[in-house]
Amino acid sequence: MLEELHVRNYALIDNIRVSFPPGFCVLTGETGAGKSILAGALSLLLGGRGGEDVIRSGAEEAEVSGVFRVAGNRDAEAWLAERQIAEEDGTVLVRRVVRRTGRGGVFIGASAAPLSDLQGFAALLVDLHSQHEHQSLFSVENHRRFLDRYVGLEERVAAFTLRFAELADMRGKHAELVDAEKDRLRDAELLSFAVREIGEAALQEGEEEELAAQRKILHEHEKLTARLGEASGSLAESGGGAVGLVRKALAAVKAAAAIDGKLTEAASRLENLFFELEDVAGALRGAQPEDFDPQRLEAIEERLALIHRLKKKYGGGLAADVLAYRGEAEKKLEALANRDDEKKRLEAAIKAREQELLAEASKISELRKASAGGLQKEIEAALGSLGMRKIRFSVPVEKKESGQGKPVCGPHGLDLVSFLISPNPGEPLKPLKSIASGGELSRVMLAIKTILAEQDDIGCLIFDEIDTGIGGEVAVAVGEFLRRLSANKQVLAITHLASIAAQADAHLRVEKRIDKERTFTDIISIDGPQRVREIARMLSGDPQEAASMKHAEELLKKYSVWEK
């Protein structure tokens, strides 16, 4: 429950601190006194929108804080424990700051928190019914949400929605693979051809250089043969060649060295020269090319042309680059094959997920159908207490179908849940949006809120002018309903009807005053004669009029809340 509210520099509110007792508490005040401002401050504290426009003129920031009792609220206690936020005697302070600089702040306990955390935590503490919230009953999607909350399916449906979103993601990826199938097949064909063509060529490292050298020899075969013959003849041992002459010189020097030892080194050097000349002569004889083979030259030209074509086709300046291209192409082919495997894997996963979700959606549907009748009866009973005794209310749960009449599973299951109503006997059940009366819609929402409140640990219900469009006996019934509801929940109601205000356990009056040409909104707790005058004002507009005062006293006595 909300124990205390502190508002500073919010709209017309300068600085107020209000304590809220348990039970049923009403807030009243003249039109324009600031009741809607207080409702806005409460909404801000609970995570509602807050911009620079809510900051009081002349101030740099607005602040709203509240002390909430969380003891006994299992969901709220678990939420705090999960985030290691400590309670203080079973309570926690929640604070919201809005600054003109745009850098506001949210604090839960002593910890700063994002706005999303505040909204999530506040939803466990307070159910705020705003003045126009009953319009949300026009949304059929909200009907499904109300039923799920009544059944206790919210977490289960949220998990289903998450799994459904994952299925949608898988379907998207599969569609991308299918769309790319033609490109994949074309790419695979091109890559396979390249791998096959390069493989059939059987290129070798250094092959091109070797072939180029052989081609040069064949192209200049005649000149090479002539030059080698000429060189060999000059070195030949016979016929006055260099080898024969050096041999003779070597024999002579060796003989001379036997006489003069100083010539030994010269003999040794000449001997080395002789052996070197012999080796060179032998190498030249061995280098003589074979007979010219035009077919071999043609084969070499064809091979080099093939290598050149492959280099031009697959990039690079070397045969090694072509071989590297083949390696990359093989890797790409493997990746393309894996994409096909991925498509098949996705198809299997999609089928399994569809079966899983269909089975879960069927179970959820069964639970909804089994509980829809209970919600229907409870709403009818609550509406009877609210002055709508002849009403018929229905909560049909129907299968969503495609244009071909086949069941359709969506992110929340198989069902289309709708609230139908017949306010008067003899009239057929119709969608809620066909109801013209805002008062009837308000009471339907009040009944739903009350029933759902009994399904959770939320300790505080706040109603901002739930009495819009009602009066007379209906207003009395609404007041009695709120009073009964407050036996188990703290109920705070902003109202303009005396028949509701008179039934409250506590009464707060919102007042507007002007001091030194500045407007201020205050909230004061009233009782006794002050409360009588406020009820009288609400009855007739004149807090001093005798008949109104008497009527106010009678109302307060009727509900045993007036002390003389």
**pLDDT tens for each residue of 247-285:** 787 788 788 888 878 888 888 888 888 888 888 877 777
Q: What is the mean pLDDT of residues 143-172?
A: 92
Q: How far is CA 355 from CA 15, 55, 115, in A?
A: 59, 54, 38
Query: Helices 242-259 and 264-286 sit at what angle, rounded to 10 degrees?
Result: 160
Q: Which two tokens stand for residue 269?
A: 């050097």
Question: What local confidence, expressed as pLDDT, does residue 68 receive?
Answer: 94
Residue 108, pLDDT > 90, answer yes
Question: What local confidence, expressed as pLDDT, does residue 397 receive?
Answer: 94
pLDDT band for position 512 (cuts 50, 70, 90): confident
Question: What local confidence, expressed as pLDDT, does residue 176 receive?
Answer: 77
**pLDDT tens for each residue of 291-315:** 666 777 777 778 877 778 877 777 7
The most confident of the ranges 153-167, 191-205, 228-242, 529-543 is: 153-167
pLDDT band for position 442 (cuts 50, 70, 90): confident
Question: What local confidence, expressed as pLDDT, does residue 10 receive?
Answer: 92
Q: How many CB atoms lie within 10 A of CB 177?
A: 17
* Least confident piece of the model among 230-234, 320-324, 419-423, 491-495: 230-234
Transcribe 436-495 into DSSP letters. --HHHHHHHHHHHHHHHHTTS---EEEEESTTTT--HHHHHHHHHHHHHHTTTSEEEEE-
Query: Helices 472-485 and 319-385 sit at what angle, rounded to 10 degrees?
Result: 110
DSSP 399: E
How far apart are alpha carbons 163 and 175 in whole angstroms?
A: 18
Residue 3, pLDDT > 50, answer yes
Identify the residue whose tokens are 């929640």: 94
Contact (Cβ atoms closer than 8 angstroms) between residue 512 and residue 519: yes
pLDDT band for position 472 (cuts 50, 70, 90): confident
pLDDT band for position 564 (cuts 50, 70, 90): very low
DSSP 57: T
DSSP 10: E
- Could you state, in order of their start, the residue ranges of all structural domains in the chain? 1-131+455-526, 184-337
Taking the alpha carbons at both ends of the chain, their separation in whole angstroms is 30
Burial class (CB in 10 A: 0-12, 13-18, 19+), 400: middle
Contact (Cβ atoms closer than 8 angstroms) between residue 265 and residue 216: no
How far apart are alpha carbons 218 and 212 in whole angstroms?
A: 10
**pLDDT tens for each residue of 537-554:** 988 877 778 888 888 888
The reported pTM is 0.62
Average of per-residue pLDDT values in the chain: 83
Q: Which two tokens stand for residue 366?
A: 């069964």
pLDDT band for position 448 (cuts 50, 70, 90): confident
Q: What is the mean pLDDT of residues 329-341?
A: 72
**Which fold, 1-131+455-526?**
Rossmann fold (3.40.50)
DSSP 535: H
